[in-house]
Chains A and B, each alone.
Chain A
Amino acid sequence: MKKAAKIRLLSDAKILIPAAGAAFAKLDPRHQIKNPVMFVVEVGSLMTTALWVEAALGHGEMRSGFILAVSLWLWFTVIFANFAEAVAEGRGKAQAATLRQARKETPAKLLAQGRRGETPAAVPASRLRKGDVVLVEAGDVIPMDGTVIEGVASVNEAAITGESAPVIRESGGDRSAVTGGTTVLSDWIVVRVTANPGDTFLDHMIDMVEGAKRQKTPNEIALSILLAGMTIVFLLATATLLPFSLYSVSQVGRGSPVTVTVLIALLVCLIPTTIGGLLAAIGIAGMDRLIQANVIAMSGRAVEAAGDVDVLLLDKTGTITLGNRQAVSFLPAEGVSREVLADAAQLASLSDETPEGRSIVVLAKERYGLRHRNVHELGASFVPFTAQTRMSGVDLHDGRQIRKGAADAVEAYVKGQGGTFPVEVRAVVERISKEGGTPLAVADRGKVLGVVHLKDIVKGGIRERFAELRRMGIKTVMITGDNPMTAAAIAAEAGVDDFLAEATPEAKLRLIRDIQKEGRLVAMAGDGTNDAPALAQADVAVAMNQGTQAAKEAGNMVDLDSNPTKLIEIVEIGKQLLITRGALTTFSVANDVSKYFAIIPAAFATTYPALKALNIMHLATPESAILSAVIFNALIIVVLLPLALRGVKYRAVPASRLLRDHVLIYGLGGVVAPFVGIKLIDMMLVACHLA
């Protein structure tokens, strides 16, 4: 995937050459009819071709060379639109080919009784069904999506995620899901199959990147209806011009009626071919951008919904804060120096491999220059953390017994040793709790040495991201298992709008339902099985690829990088998709103004020479005017293709400013640009003696 991502759509021959071929293949009317706007252009192309044949045989309504030129450029219009779609599909096609290699027939070791001990039977992966149990050993390719029910193994998931570092998959817990097509590197696992052939994650992924089962999304359908409506209006406006023109000629007794060729040219110029030709490409490119971000969407609907999200639910750990708490300061008890406390705390943590323990060692080293000492050299014995004592520590030769742990546990320990827990230390403990930190009391036998302040570290830059989201009109809610006091402190530090403390799966689900009842759309990321109900309820649900099968099935997107912060990127991609559609539609319609000024005087000048006054661009001849408009109309599709593929850049500014900028660029720009373009083309036609 990562490698494929480097393909540049518009400069890679591997994409452009097949796309050029596909552009012609897509001329098949059965394909073209799906896009009513371009279908009308194709019918127009066929009609002008017929008119040219007629003219070539000497019965033409106009000069055959002119009809041929119009006809050719109408064909180009259709082909350019098809080419746009084909280019957008190109990268997906290339990626799908890579993914298919991972899906090739693999032998599976079926455990008929579902037990590890039995002799496995070799069957092809395609024969496996949901519920079958297979054994996968080192070097084997996992044959099908499933859940690990026994064992632990390191798995290379590069085929799916593009990430070559192996990951651990084990039974139970949140790391139990395995994906068909990935490879076990070491050890073995027993897997219960959770998908039937053709319905696996890899299959979905191939469908998605290839766009094979691409269905129009609701918003795309709504836009298509609008475009079809416009096409009908313009069809009427141009078709009725024929009787109007015949009547005018008969009344004035001068000139000749407008020709069918000119009417078709006018029709094609007026109907929204720019957006009609690029609409499919915009949709495919939007999905493609998501795939570039290593997110697999299970439906296009979810991508659109992402643009509408009002509320983001974000897990605290891993998303808002770094995974673990870290020691930030030593607060000694009365009569104890900081160095003594730091020294004791470091000693007690030397053998503590938890991130919290390591952070204490590091802090003591950084602040007080205390070196890392070897526990064995000190002849110390490590006292590990247990659920009963809720403390860990170290016993030293010199008789010191250092313990660190939750304040109430340490208090019980100190009192058991005949000591007391000083009031001012209790005050410190309470203050730290109130600030959202975790106090860790340190004691030596009966003497309390002080408190280590452990703190959640908010990720760098996250506050700015949340501010940006707020400007986009999106509310952020932090979800955490912490108590409300801790949660409030972190929420304030990270700049989220709201938080849900002591969150249970039920509370999460209820929160989502409450928000949705207000009519808002909710997005969330999750990985655990207990996230599954909430994921299923959320409108945009991003499951982490490293999560459980249940989570992946409940979500409508899977993030292959398992990075919950990516929700923000997904929202932006959704918005960008909608903006690109709106901008190009506006541009397309705005273009029509200039085309009238080019074609109307040219079409009716023989009847009413006075209408030449409308030729404000001073186009050379009626023929060059019509041809320039048609050529501009075809070329603009190609010119705007990079924009359609890249998407209009989204900026986190209020909606009113966004609208103002886009109306100016695509509305006003859309009115002005073709005046310049058509004039330039006309000048070139004149320069080449084609007009």
Chain B
Amino acid sequence: MNANNLLQGAIYIAVFLACVKPLGAYMAEIYEGRVPRPVRWLLPLERGLYRLCGVDPAEEMSWQNYAVAKLLFNAAGLFALYALQRLQHLLPLNPMKMAAVSPDSSFNTAVSFATNTNWQGYGGETTMSYLTQMLGLTVQNFVSAAGGMAVMAALIRGFVRRQSATVGNFWTDMIRGVVYILLPLSAVLAVILVSQGVVQTLKPYAAASVIEIAQDSRGKPMAGQTIALGPAASQISIKQLGTNGGGFFNANSAHPFENPTPLSNFLEMESLVLIAAALCFTFGKMVGDVRQGWALLAAMTLIFVPMLWLCVASEQKGNPAFDALGVDQRPTIEQPGGNMEGKETRLGIASSAIWATATTSVSNGSVNSMHDSFTPLGGLVPMALMQLSEVVYGGVGSGLYGMLLYAVVAVFLAGLMVGRTPEYLGKKIESFEMKMASIGILVSPACALLGTAVAVACAAGRAGVSNPGPHGFSEILYAFSSGANNNGSAFAGLNANTPFYNVTIGLAMFFGRYWIAVPVLAMAGSLARKKFVPESSGTLPTHTPLFIVFLVGIVVMVGALTFFPALALGPIAEHLLMIGKGA
């Protein structure tokens, strides 16, 4: 860790934490049904959308209706996206004449974008037409993010409401989330990104002639180069803000047209964590005790900071095997030092490692470096962060409701230890809540582990691996951890655009999203029906440092105990081999 790395890390954390309160308070207003003055002018858009969709904004839904509405909406989006990809060769706005996408890849991508995972088995500029990118992928970027926030809003109402049969209205939560939160923020960000050089055009790809004639993989000389273009800025801004992560181009934010300057890199990095972190304050504000929100944010940050440190330090340290070969890995004025394989030289160690940690702790999944090329411990960090079920900030909405599932378990254990049947925010935690929390916490590890087990056991799964030994195993484990936890980032080494991986990872993403969202909504319904238990001095306080540490302990223990054996066969073994412990 050098001063540069420390400073970059500190600034990164300080900036998004500073935004938590204002943005969080604003979002609380939105989900409580108010329209703050600065965005009054959007009111006609909101009302127009209600009329267009035939939604009665005053209608209240039971959790079952809420869940059905969400599932139907996502199913419709999934089919639409599938159809768009399959039919894109017949549709307009396809200047590069992209062919129809294969059925398995279309399925995978449709699930991926509808579930806010944005795992990409395809390469954007060689696969998707502009229409598919804009009408399909960008739209899903917005609605999958708003959908996650809607489920969270319903869960918060579960805590807030007393003896109520309803948890809100899915359609209004969706529309308000898009209109008042995601649209304004991403419009502003898109304009700034364009100012930095991110492309935004409907023109066909540019052809450039090259000075130095290179050879292609078959040894043929390449006379010219095609430079991919497209309406990228509008998609990139929401890809970051909505914790989606699916790049417009294959190289994602390592691509100079997605992420051209240090400023664009900084803003994209900040924006990926912005909403997820701010929602903690929204939660505190809505439940009427902001300390509760700060406590969750503190718990997340307590996990985030050491992981960030580990990742940056490991990358900066580099590979000891190189030292033996006399390669200079020290940072100097001319070079960043450390492990620069798979990193953009213009971004360097800190910006790459901070991004890698942030994009996996938040369920974003966009990358500006190739995690596959990280040192074993540096690569363990993104993988472990995903395996903690994406609750350290996590996806917008989904991260917080995931963390609340852990909070429910923590409250249950801690509550018992103070001698009361447990209660959280005045609601008794009983067997139904425990059942839903257990299912919610169980699903993503189950998908990740079972998916990996199937892949290593099948020839089709083993075929995609490009590295031998523990690293190859890490690639598969990473892919399924990413899918099951709706992250979407990849250890680039795995060739995952095969029918086998498209289908298995597609299923992992699907279960990983809805088998958590539906139990969360069920819990919201059950909590809303309960009476409120007032606080007394015998009540377990859930905003104290002690409880925060306990919650962190539960999250880390569940994640570590579930994945330690698997990690031991992957990055841990690799690390020990690298540092020369018994070859």
- Chain A residues with CB under 8 Å of chain B are 218-219, 221-223, 225-226, 228-229, 232-234, 236-241, 243-248, 251-252, 266, 270, 304-305, 307-308, 310, 470-475, 518-520, 574-576, 578-579, 581-583, 585-586, 589-590, 592-593, 596, 600, 604, 607-614, 650, 654-656, 658-660, 662-663, 666-667
Q: Chain A CB within 10 Å — which of B450, B536, B558 has the most?
A: B536
| Closest partner residue, chain A, to B567 (CB atom) | A600
Using an 8 Å CB-CB cutoff, how does the interface string of B437-459 with A read, 1 for contact, 0 for none? 11101100110011011101100
Cβ B416 vs Cβ A579 within 8 A = yes
Cβ B431 vs Cβ A225 within 8 A = yes
Cβ A226 vs Cβ B421 within 8 A = no
Q: A610-B576, A611-B572, A611-B573 are in contact. Are A248 and B418 (CB under 8 A)?
A: no
B401 at the interface (CB under 8 A from A): no
Q: A519-B532, A582-B414 are in contact. Are A251 and B441 (CB under 8 A)?
A: no
Interface segment among B123-131, B330-338, B497-505, B546-554: the answer is B546-554
Q: Identify the 3 closest CB pairs spanning chains A and B, nearest first.
A: A473-B538, A582-B416, A575-B419
Cβ A658 vs Cβ B418 within 8 A = yes
Report which of A305, A600, A611, A655 forms a contact with B537, defined as CB distance below 8 A. Answer: A655
B409 at the interface (CB under 8 A from A): yes
Bound complex: CA A652 to CA B416 (Å): 15
Cβ B418 vs Cβ A596 within 8 A = no
| Closest partner residue, chain B, to A270 (CB atom) | B561
Using an 8 Å CB-CB cutoff, how does the interface string of B551-576 with A read, 1 for contact, 0 for none? 00100011011111110110011001
Bound complex: CA A583 to CA B421 (Å): 13
Cβ A519 vs Cβ B533 within 8 A = yes
Bound complex: CA A596 to CA B537 (Å): 39
Which chain B positions have C-beta within 8 A of A610?
Answer: 573, 576-577, 581-583
B470 at the interface (CB under 8 A from A): yes
Q: Chain B CB within 10 Å — which of A475, A582, A614 has the most?
A: A582
Cβ A236 vs Cβ B445 within 8 A = yes
Bound complex: CA A585 to CA B572 (Å): 29
Cβ A519 vs Cβ B426 within 8 A = yes
Cβ A236 vs Cβ B577 within 8 A = no
Using A600-B568, A655-B538 as known contacts, list a sample of 13 further A-B pairs with CB atoms less than 8 Å apart, ordered by residue number in A.
A222-B429, A225-B435, A471-B537, A474-B536, A519-B531, A592-B561, A593-B557, A600-B564, A609-B583, A611-B568, A655-B418, A656-B541, A659-B546
Distance between B527 CB and nearest chain A CB, rounded to angstroms: 13
Q: How many A-B Cβ pairs are below 8 Å? A: 225
Cβ B539 vs Cβ A608 within 8 A = no
Bound complex: CA A495 to CA B39 (Å): 56
Q: A236-B446, A247-B456, A519-B531 are in contact. Are A659 and B420 (CB under 8 A)?
A: no
Distance between A309 CB and nearest chain B CB, rounded to angstroms: 9
Bound complex: CA A596 to CA B559 (Å): 13
B434 at the interface (CB under 8 A from A): yes
Q: A245-B569, A663-B546 are in contact. Are A237 and B563 (CB under 8 A)?
A: yes
Cβ A604 vs Cβ B441 within 8 A = no
Which chain A positions have C-beta within 8 A of B581?
Answer: 610, 612-613
8 residue pairs bridging A and B, Cβ less than 8 Å apart: A223-B412, A470-B537, A518-B534, A596-B561, A609-B583, A655-B420, A655-B538, A658-B418
Which chain A positions have C-beta within 8 A of B531?
Answer: 519
Q: A244-B569, A578-B421, A610-B576 are in contact. Are A473 and B561 (CB under 8 A)?
A: no
Bound complex: CA A614 to CA B534 (Å): 48
| Closest partner residue, chain A, to B420 (CB atom) | A308
Using an 8 Å CB-CB cutoff, how does the interface string of B510-539 with A read, 1 for contact, 0 for none? 000000000000000000000111101111
Cβ A304 vs Cβ B421 within 8 A = yes
B158 at the interface (CB under 8 A from A): no
Report which of A593, A614, A658 forms a contact with B568, defined as CB distance below 8 A. Answer: A614
Which chain A positions have C-beta within 8 A of B563?
Answer: 237
Which chain A positions have C-beta within 8 A of B445?
Answer: 233, 236-237
Cβ A655 vs Cβ B541 within 8 A = yes
Cβ A248 vs Cβ B533 within 8 A = no
Bound complex: CA A596 to CA B12 (Å): 35
Distance between B121 CB and nearest chain A CB, rounded to angstroms: 22
Cβ A474 vs Cβ B449 within 8 A = no
| Closest partner residue, chain A, to B561 (CB atom) | A592
Bound complex: CA A33 to CA B415 (Å): 28
Cβ A241 vs Cβ B573 within 8 A = no
Which chain A positions have C-beta within 8 A of B473?
Answer: 244, 247-248, 251
Cβ A243 vs Cβ B457 within 8 A = yes
- Chain B residues with CB under 8 Å of chain A are 409, 412-421, 426, 429-431, 433-435, 437-439, 441-442, 445-446, 449-450, 452-454, 456-457, 462, 468-470, 472-473, 531-534, 536-541, 544, 546-547, 550, 553, 557-558, 560-566, 568-569, 572-573, 576-577, 581-583
Distance between B12 CB and nearest chain A CB, rounded to angstroms: 31
Q: A225-B431, A520-B534 are in contact. Are A608 and B577 (CB under 8 A)?
A: yes
Cβ B565 vs Cβ A238 within 8 A = yes
Q: A218-B431, A251-B472 are in contact. Are A236 and B449 (CB under 8 A)?
A: yes
Cβ A608 vs Cβ B470 within 8 A = yes
Interface of chain B, main secondary structure: helix
Which chain A positions have C-beta within 8 A of B568?
Answer: 600, 604, 611, 614
Which chain A positions have C-beta within 8 A of B533?
Answer: 519-520
Cβ B435 vs Cβ A656 within 8 A = no
Bound complex: CA A434 to CA B197 (Å): 86
Report which of B430, B431, B442 forms a contact with A233, defined as CB distance below 8 A. Answer: B442
Distance between B525 CB and nearest chain A CB, rounded to angstroms: 17
Cβ B441 vs Cβ A229 within 8 A = yes
Cβ A586 vs Cβ B442 within 8 A = no
Bound complex: CA A663 to CA B426 (Å): 22
Which chain B positions have C-beta within 8 A of A229?
Answer: 434, 438-439, 441-442
| Closest partner residue, chain A, to B429 (CB atom) | A222
Bound complex: CA A70 to CA B231 (Å): 63
Distance between B142 CB and nearest chain A CB, rounded to angstroms: 34
Which chain B positions have C-beta within 8 A of A609?
Answer: 582-583
Cβ B419 vs Cβ A658 within 8 A = yes
Cβ A654 vs Cβ B537 within 8 A = yes
Cβ B557 vs Cβ A232 within 8 A = no
Bound complex: CA A663 to CA B547 (Å): 10
Cβ A307 vs Cβ B434 within 8 A = no
Q: A659-B546, A663-B550 are in contact. Are A613 and B576 (CB under 8 A)?
A: yes
| Closest partner residue, chain B, to A592 (CB atom) | B561
Cβ A585 vs Cβ B413 within 8 A = yes
Bound complex: CA A237 to CA B453 (Å): 10
Cβ A308 vs Cβ B550 within 8 A = no
Cβ A472 vs Cβ B431 within 8 A = no
Q: A304-B421, A579-B416, A596-B564 are in contact. Are A473 and B572 (CB under 8 A)?
A: no
| Closest partner residue, chain B, to A605 (CB atom) | B582
| Closest partner residue, chain B, to A596 (CB atom) | B564
Which chain B positions have C-beta within 8 A of A244?
Answer: 452-453, 456, 473, 565-566, 569
Cβ A472 vs Cβ B416 within 8 A = no
Which chain B positions have C-beta within 8 A of A237?
Answer: 445, 449, 561-563, 565-566
| Closest partner residue, chain A, to B575 (CB atom) | A610
Cβ B561 vs Cβ A234 within 8 A = yes
Bound complex: CA A593 to CA B450 (Å): 23
Which chain B positions have C-beta within 8 A of A581?
Answer: 416
Which chain A positions have C-beta within 8 A of B558?
Answer: 233
| Closest partner residue, chain B, to A469 (CB atom) | B538
Distance between A660 CB and nearest chain B CB, rounded to angstroms: 5
Cβ A659 vs Cβ B417 within 8 A = yes
Which chain B positions have C-beta within 8 A of A225?
Answer: 431, 434-435, 438
Bound complex: CA A520 to CA B473 (Å): 54
Bound complex: CA A574 to CA B538 (Å): 13
Q: Chain A CB within 10 Å — which of B419, B453, B537, B573 has the most?
A: B419
Q: A222-B429, A247-B457 are in contact. Are A608 and B576 (CB under 8 A)?
A: yes
Cβ A307 vs Cβ B421 within 8 A = yes
Q: Chain A CB within 10 Å — which of B420, B534, B544 has the most?
A: B420
Which chain A positions have C-beta within 8 A of B468?
Answer: 251
| Closest partner residue, chain A, to B549 (CB atom) | A663
Cβ A666 vs Cβ B450 within 8 A = no
